[in-house]
Structure 1
Amino acid sequence: MTTDIDPSRTAEEPTSPWLEKLGPGLVTGAADDDPSGIATYSQAGAAFGYNLLWTLLLTYPLMVAIQLVSARIGRVSGHGLATNLRRHYPLPLLYGAVTLLLVANTINIAADLTAMGAAVNLLVGGPTRLYTILLAAASLALQVFVPYRRYVRVLKWLTLALLAYVGVVFAVGIPWPTVALRTVLPHLSWSGSYATTIVAVFGTTISPYLFFWQASQEVEEINAAPGALALKKAPSQGTRQLNRIGIDTWTGMAFSNLIAFFIMLTTAATLNAHGINDIQTSSQAAAALKPIAGRFAFLLFSFGIVGTGLLALPVLAGSAAYAMAGTFRWKNSLELEPGLAKRFYGIIIAATVIGLALGLTSIDPIKALYWSAVINGVTSVPIMALMMRMASHPRIMGEFRIRSSLRIAGWTATGVMAIAVSAMFVIFALT
C-alpha cells in the first residue's frame, strides 16, 4: 500500500493554484449551457419573462449535490457510472439507462450542430449545411486525435465562450428591481406549458449525460496523473482530492447556472418584453435580438452558440461512449490511441455522425430537442436514485461512502426532480 500511495505525493502539489483545481466540474458545468440548453433557456425567457428565473436558483444547489455524488463515485471507485451499474445492479436497469442516454445525447448533438451551423451563417453568411459538417468534423478530429491531457486544456479555454452571455446582459436594459422581485416571487401558472417548461429547464440543467461524463472524467484524471489511484486503493489521497472535487464542482455548477440565468434574463428583457414569445432555436433567439438589443448583443449571443457547441459536443458524444464502454467492458479512455480503443471511439464517431445526419434531414430537431430535455428530466430520477444508492454503498465506496449533509442534499435533488416530473404529468392529465 505504501508504494502505491507515495508517488502521488510527488505528483500532486498540495499548494496547487486554485485554477489548477478546476477540471471535470468546470467543463461539465460549462457544457451544460450548450446550444440546446441555450434554446431551452431562451424559450423559457421569451415565453414566461422573468417568471422562471427562480428555477435556476433552485437548480444550483441540487446540481452541485448530484454532480458531487457522480464525481465521488468515479474518483473513489476508479470506475464510471455504467461500470458500477453493471457490477452491482440488474442488467435491465443498466441497458434501459444507457439506451435513453444514447437517444437523448444523439438528439442533442443533432440540435447543437444545427444551431452552430445556423449561428455561423448569421455571423458571416454562406452555406449553413457546410458549416454544420465542418464543425462536426473539427469536433471529431479534436476528440479522436488530440490526447486527453492536451484536449482538456482546450475545453477549459472554451468555457470562456460562455462569458458572451454576461456581456449580452450589459448590452441591453435590465429592470433589476423587477428581476429581483420576480426571481423571488414569480407569477406561477397552472398550465401544461408552464409545467413542461419547468421540467425542460430542470432536464437540460440536471441531465444524465453530465452524471456519466463527470464520473468518467474523474477516472481519466486518475489515469492521467502519475501516482494517482482510486481513493479506495489510496485513502491518504482522499482529503486533497475530495477538497479539489468540491471546489471544482461548486465553481463549475455556479458558472453553469449563472450563465443560464443570464440567457433567460436576456431573452425575458428583450424578446418577451417586445411580445416575441415563441422562440424555437438558439439561432432564432440570436437573430431576434439584433433589431431589439443591437448588433453587439447579437454578435455576442451568436459567438456564444458556436463556442459552447464546440465545448458540449465532446461531452455529449464522450458520455455516450463511456456509458457503452462501461456496459460492455470495452477499453475506454481519451488518453488511448484510437487503435487501442476502437469501439469506444467508434461510439463517439457514430453518435456525432448520426446526430449530424439527423440535423441535415427534414426531421424537426428543435421539437425533438425540447422533448429530449423533458425525457432527460424523467430519466434523471431513477438514475439519480441509483447513484445515491451507489454513493452510500460500502462495497462501492468503502470508507468514502457519503453521509449526512451530502446524502440529504442528493436525495433532496432526486426528490425535487421526481416532484417536478410528477407535477407535469398531473397537470397534463387535468388540462
Structure 2
Amino acid sequence: MQKSLILAAPSSGAGKTTVTLALLRLLAREGVAVRGAKSGPDYIDPKFHEAACGQPCLNLDAWAMAPDRLKGLAAGDGLLLIEGAMGLFDGAPPDGRGAVADLARQLHLPVVLVVDAGRMAGSVAPLVAGFARFDPAVQVAGVILNRVGSARHEAMLRRALAPLGLPVLAALGRDGTLTQPSRHLGLVQAGERPDLDVFLDRAADALAPTLDRATLLDIAAPLPEAAQPPTLAPPAQVIAVAQDEAFAFAYPHMLADWRAKGAELRVFSPLVDDPVPKAGFVFLPGGYPELHAGRIASATRFLQSLRNAAQTTDIYGECGGYMVLGDGLVDADGTRHAMAGLLGVETSFEHRRLHLGYRHLSPLGGPFTGPLAGHEFHYATTLRETGDPLFRATDAEGTALPDMGLRRGRVSGSFAHLIDAGPTVR
C-alpha cells in the first residue's frame, strides 16, 4: 500500500531537511521502500532526497498544482516522506495557499512536527499544542525533537510533551557536523558535495538510537487514489536541455511530462562547451551561471551553436538561462562577462537584490500558449532590459506586476520558473 506523511516545522531553520535526509537514508538502509518529495518550489533539496534513498524526488506544490496533479505525482510504491517548506502554515498571501498545511489538507496526510528544541524545555509543550490545535483539518500526529542538548534535556522535553498524547518519534542531538553548507539560493547542491554519503550516513546514525520506527510507519496514511493527472505538453518532438552545475534547476515533473507525451530529450553541458544538439526546442534552465560566468563566456562552441540554432529553432531560458541568453552578466566581483547576445538584457550580481514570490503568467508570444503558474527566486539586478515582453504577470494575490521577460525572433526567456498550467491572468 502507498502511504505517506509530511515532515513540517513551526518555522524555517528547524532542521527539517536534515531530519528528512536522516530518515530517508536510515529507512533505505534498513530495507524499507521509501522515497522523498518536497513541498513547494525547490530545486536543491530534492537532489539530496534522491542521494539519501536512491529514488527520484518530485515537487508537490499546493499553490501551483491542481489536486489531481498533486495526487498523480505523489502516487508510487512504498513510503513517501514529504519535506515541508518554511513553517507549517506559511503560504502565499492572502490566505496561505500553498503552505505545507494546504498540502496536508489536499492529500489528507498526517504531519510530523520537527521542533528545534535547542533553546527550550517545558515551553515545547505549548508550542506543539498550539500547532496541533490550530486547524482541525490538519492532523499533527507526532513530534521529532531536533538539536537536543543531552539525555537530561531529552527527558525534560519528553516529560513536558507527555500530557499532549502525541508520540515523540525521535530526538536528534545537537551536532555541528550535521550543519550543511549553503549559498544565496539555499544549500550547496548535492552534486557539489564529495562528502555527501558520509554526511547522510552520519545523520542516519545519529537518528537511529531514538527513532520509534514502528510508530512512524503506523502514523503514515494511505495516499488518495490518483486520477489521470493533467500534464504539460512538450514544446517540440526533440528537446535539447542544458544540464550541469550552472543549469541544474529543471523541474523533474516537467521533463517527465514531455517524455510521457513522446518527446525525446537530448541533454548537453554548456560548461564543458558542448554544442547545442539538433532539436526542435532548446531549454536553458536556471541554476548558478553567476558562479561559472567566465567558463560560460569562454565556451565558444556552445555560444556559437546557440546563436546558430536561434536562426531556425525556438530557444527558451528561465532565470539563469535567461541571463545567459542576454548580452552580459556582471559577477559578484564586478567583472562583466559577455553572454550569448540573443536577448537585450544585462544582469549583475555585484549588488544583489532578492526577488521572490509566486507568479501568475500569461504568454504574450513565444513558445507558450496557455496560462501558467510559476515562481521567481533570484538575487540578480537587471541593469538593462529592452525588447518585447514574454509574459503578463501578477503576484499570488493577483496584483499586477510589470511584464516579465523578453522575446526576440525565436528566442525568449524570463526570470520566472515555470511550475505548471495555471489560471488566466486578468
TM-score for both structures, normalised by structure 1 = 0.24
The higher radius of gyration belongs to: 2
**Which one has more relative contact order, counting CA pairs under 8 Å at least 6 apart?**
1
Give the helix-richer structure, 1 or 2.
1
Give the strand-richer structure, 1 or 2.
2
